[in-house]
């Protein structure tokens, strides 16, 4: 049966009635909210709702991502994980996939994504931020055991539900995960892309660690990272604009980020432009810089004045190390004093 609202499709365990089309500007695959109904063996569903995800058969990238996600959910560290959204059923088989018999994955329902959570109302919510950091780090440890990188951390993939007044957090969408070092250039969303990935290194485990800090930082301050506010996207390449922000925030001396290979002249040009942007004036004869990005120390002081807890800022700083050689792995971060202080403060929050 073709996927359309109102249709009921049958999985291995349950049936699913498609009730709402889901997604935002970062989601292009067919994704639905579905009511979970008793299946062929009259199994009673544990939850009323699920997310049913498929792919456009004419879009090979979507197809490959969905099949890859299905394959990764069979890996022991992911299948047993409490940090990834549960795969609760499979609809049809990827072999013999047709428009009338679509292959779909049914996942547990989560109430919202981090993208839908207003920062202003939650910037002092230590429990939410601590849970996000904990789940992401633990998930990346599990992926590292399988020699995989996630490479797609962003607010739309951080899933949140309220359970007994507490925030349950999970990671969704493994479609862009892949073997460490085996991905094409410039994976990861621009705002959360690790500096070494920008400069031409393939995506390895520590690039995922960087993305946690970058995502939380950008949730607090939407234009502090990324290319959205680039004044001229036709003249200033995203790599230059985004790297210039990272340099200003975390590497003012321009000494920590590994430069591109001498072989790649194009990346060298963009890297040099990024360095120049950090000292470019907004206008001729102006003392004001084009990029108004403070050092992280200055930004953190302003953030504390606005009410963001210091333990959150300390956790961001320990993860956002420009040189991946000095950046902690996810496991090292879980053992760090900064992480432990964040979790301790979250446990005491509201008590």
pLDDT tens digits for 255-267?
899 899 888 899 9
- For CA atoms 240, 246, 248, 254, the dihedral sign is negative
* pLDDT for position 51: 96
For 84-114, how does the pLDDT look when each residue is reduced to its tens digit (9 = 90+)? 999 999 999 998 888 889 999 999 999 999 9
pLDDT band at 233 (very low <50, low <70, confident <90, very high): confident
pLDDT band at 163 (very low <50, low <70, confident <90, very high): low
* pLDDT for position 192: 97
* pLDDT for position 165: 62
Task: Return the minimum-mean-pLDDT range out of 6-10, 67-71, 135-139, 213-217.
Answer: 6-10
Contact partners, residue 151, CB within 8 Å, separation at least 6: 176, 177, 178, 183, 187, 188, 203, 207, 208
How much is the pTM?
Answer: 0.93
Classify the phi-psi angles of 164: left when phi > 0, otherwise alpha if psi is within -120 to 50, otherwise beta. left
d(CA 161, CA 167) in angstroms, rounded, equals 6
* pLDDT for position 182: 83
* pLDDT for position 185: 75
Q: Does 124 have pLDDT greater than 90?
A: no
* pLDDT for position 112: 92
Produce one character per residue of 150-170: b if its CB has 16 or more CB atoms within 10 Å, e if not: bbbbbbbbbbbeeeeeebebb
3-state SS string for the chain: CCCCCCCEEECCCCEEEEEEECCCCCCCCCEEEEEEECCCCCCCCCCCEEEEECCCCCCHHHHHHHHHHHHHCCCHHHHCCCCECCEEEEECCCCCCCCCCCCEEEEECCCEEHHHCCHHHHCCCHHHHHHHHHHHHHHHHHHHHCCEECCCCCHHHEEEEEECCEEEEEECCCCCCEECCCCCCCCCCHHHCCHHHHCCCCCCHHHHHHHHHHHHHHHHCCCCCCCCCCCCCCCCCHHHHHHHHHHHHHCCCCCCCCCCCCCCHHHHHHHHHHHHHCCCECCCCCCCECCCCCCHHHHHHHHHHHCCCHHHHHHHHHHCCCCCCCCCCHHHHHCCHHHHHHHHHHHHCCC
pLDDT band at 280 (very low <50, low <70, confident <90, very high): confident
Share of the chain above pLDDT 70, in %: 93
């Amino acid at each position: 049966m073709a996927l359309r609202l109102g249709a009921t499709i049958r999985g291995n365990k349950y049936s699913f009635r498609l009730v709402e089309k889901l997604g935002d500007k970062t989601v292009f695959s067919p994704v639905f909210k579905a009511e979970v109904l008793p299946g062929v063996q009259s199994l009673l569903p544990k939850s009323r709702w699920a997310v049913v995800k498929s792919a456009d058969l004419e879009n090979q990238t979507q197809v490959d991502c969905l099949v890859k996600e299905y394959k990764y959910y069979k890996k022991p560290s992911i299948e047993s994980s409490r940090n990834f959204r549960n795969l609760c059923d499979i609809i049809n088989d990827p072999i013999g996939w047709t428009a009338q018999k679509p292959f779909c994955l049914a996942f547990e329902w989560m109430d919202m994504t981090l993208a839908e959570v207003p920062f202003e109302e939650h910037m002092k919510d230590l429990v939410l931020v601590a849970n996000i950091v904990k789940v992401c780090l633990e998930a990346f440890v599990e992926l590292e055991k399988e020699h995989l990188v996630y490479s797609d951390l962003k607010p739309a993939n951080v899933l949140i539900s309220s359970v007994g007044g507490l925030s349950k957090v999970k990671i969704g969408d493994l479609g862009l995960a892949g073997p460490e070092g085996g991905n094409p250039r410039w994976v990861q969303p621009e705002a959360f892309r690790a500096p070494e990935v920008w400069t031409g290194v393939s995506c390895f485990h520590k690039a995922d660690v960087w993305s946690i800090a970058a995502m939380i930082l950008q949730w607090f301050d939407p234009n502090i990272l990324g290319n959205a506010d680039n004044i001229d996207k036709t003249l200033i390449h995203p790599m230059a604009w985004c790297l210039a922000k990272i340099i200003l925030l975390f590497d003012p001396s321009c000494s920590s980020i590994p430069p591109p290979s001498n072989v790649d002249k194009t990346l060298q040009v963009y890297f040099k432009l990024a360095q120049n942007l950090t000292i470019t004036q907004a206008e001729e004869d102006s003392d004001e810089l084009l990029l108004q990005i403070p050092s992280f120390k200055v930004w953190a002081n302003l953030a504390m004045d606005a009410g963001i807890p210091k333990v959150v800022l300390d956790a961001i700083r320990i993860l956002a190390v420009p040189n991946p050689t000095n950046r902690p792995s996810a496991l090292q971060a879980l053992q760090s004093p900064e992480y432990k202080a964040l979790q301790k403060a979250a446990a005491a929050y509201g008590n």
